[in-house]
Amino acid sequence: QGYERYQRLTQQPDGTFKPASQRVVQRHRQNIGTIVEAGKLKVKRIRRGNQGKIIGEVEEYFAQQLTPGDTFLFAGEMLRFEAIRDMQLHARPDKGKEPKIPSYVGGQLPLSTYLADGVRALLNEPAQWQALPGQVREWLSLQQAFSQIPARDKVLIEQFPYRRAFYSLYYTFEGRKANQTLGMLLTRRMEKLGLKPLSFSVTDYGLSVCALKPLDETHIATLFQPDILGDELEDWMLNAPMLKRSFRQVAIVSGLTEQRYHSTRKTMKQVTFSTDLIYDTLREYEPDHILLKVAREDAERELLDLRRLADTLIRFVGKTQFIDLPKVSPMAIPIVLDVRSEQVKGAGEQALLDQAALYAEAESMLDEVRALLSGDG
């Protein structure tokens, strides 16, 4: 209240509050009902120092999952994430680690709990498989014969060697957001255990983690525990930029910062600069501020689906089923190969060829399973 310009409410003698001026009312009406769009970041391909060129855009939803050193595939090449500066994602060409694929908010809607329960029920009632297409029936039958069908009351965890590494599959049926968060946390804990994780990929029904060293029963007991939501989660959230992005949305909706003023509209870069400055100030001088708490709650709910993941970890603690396999199981193939419709921007014809190669490799994997089951392998 020391600055009249920033004073928005005045307290009346009866204890109620009212707008400090008509100008405050007008500015509020201009911004009320704000829908926060998915922000986009320009991807800057760095060569020397901070010099480079813009090669495209990704949504912040994908960028805020990255931590320095992560690699991702974009514009037909592998890039290593360095930092986000001035609404630009800085990355350098890199080789070695298996990359992530940029994803977009529209494709991240998770399975509902009801649908997930329905899928589990369907999988565990083979009599209902007759209503499914022939290829799906064969796929499930091969899975049942080669490994197991995920049970209703347990989390099936498979492990197998593939491409000079070891893949572990977690069939959670908890949706992309929860699986994405679980993947981040599992790889951090695996790093602490010396298992040398390389990458992970997710679908609605499962999570695949690639590592240089294999898991055993003792590792499973350590990894799939509710306490993974402790230190690993806090470290990740502090190192990733998601809290700042969540705070930006809270600041816009609450009116702390404005997108419109008279006939002008602030750019996303201007809004982000303002909210980042406010966020850093509040973190340093008022860490218990209500908007910081709301931003964290929003991030946990909207970006990470923490409540659902926590329920899963608690519900299935001590109820995992670990199977060591000689080859990739049929249900694991779509997750391991990441066969999906999303394409890397700018990949063009090469992307179609790569997709065709993935489907051919998937069919080859199924042939190997068929051969093993028939005794020819």
- How far, in Å, CA of 148 to CA of 157, rounded? 10
Q: What interhelical angle do 231-239 and 242-254 show, nearest 10?
A: 70
Of the pLDDT bands very low, low, confident and very high (cuts 50, 70, 90), residue 32 is low
Model-wide pTM > 0.75: no
**Phi and psi dihedrals of 168, rounded to 5?**
-115, 135
- Which of 334, 62, 64, 365 lies closest to 203 in space, CA to CA? 334
- pLDDT greater than 80 at residue 105: no
What does the angle CA 256 – CA 258 – CA 262 come to, to the nearest 5 degrees?
Answer: 145
Contacts of residue 352, Cβ cutoff 8 Å, sequence gap at least 6: none
- Which of 41, 7, 47 lies closest to 24 in space, CA to CA? 7
Q: Give the SS3 label for residue 346.
A: coil
Helix, strand and coil in the chain, % to nearest 5: 45, 20, 30
- How far, in Å, CA of 310 to CA of 178, rounded? 9
Report the pLDDT value the prediction gives residue 343, as an integer from 0 to 100. Answer: 32
- pLDDT greater than 90 at residue 38: no
Report the pLDDT value the prediction gives residue 354, as an integer from 0 to 100. Answer: 56
What does the angle CA 14 – CA 19 – CA 22 come to, to the nearest 5 degrees?
Answer: 135
Lowest mean pLDDT among 21-30, 95-104, 229-238, 317-326: 95-104
- How far, in Å, CA of 258 to CA of 276, rounded? 14
Give percent above pLDDT 70 in the chain.
80
Strand blocks (E) in the chain: 9-11, 17-19, 40-48, 51-59, 71-74, 77-85, 88-93, 155-162, 165-171, 197-202, 207-211, 260-261, 264-265, 320-324
- pLDDT greater than 90 at residue 157: yes
Of the pLDDT bands very low, low, confident and very high (cuts 50, 70, 90), residue 187 is confident
Residue 7 near residue 17, CB atoms below 8 Å: no
Calculate the CA 281 to chain-centre distance: 28
CA distances from 298 to 96, 103, 302 (A): 35, 20, 6
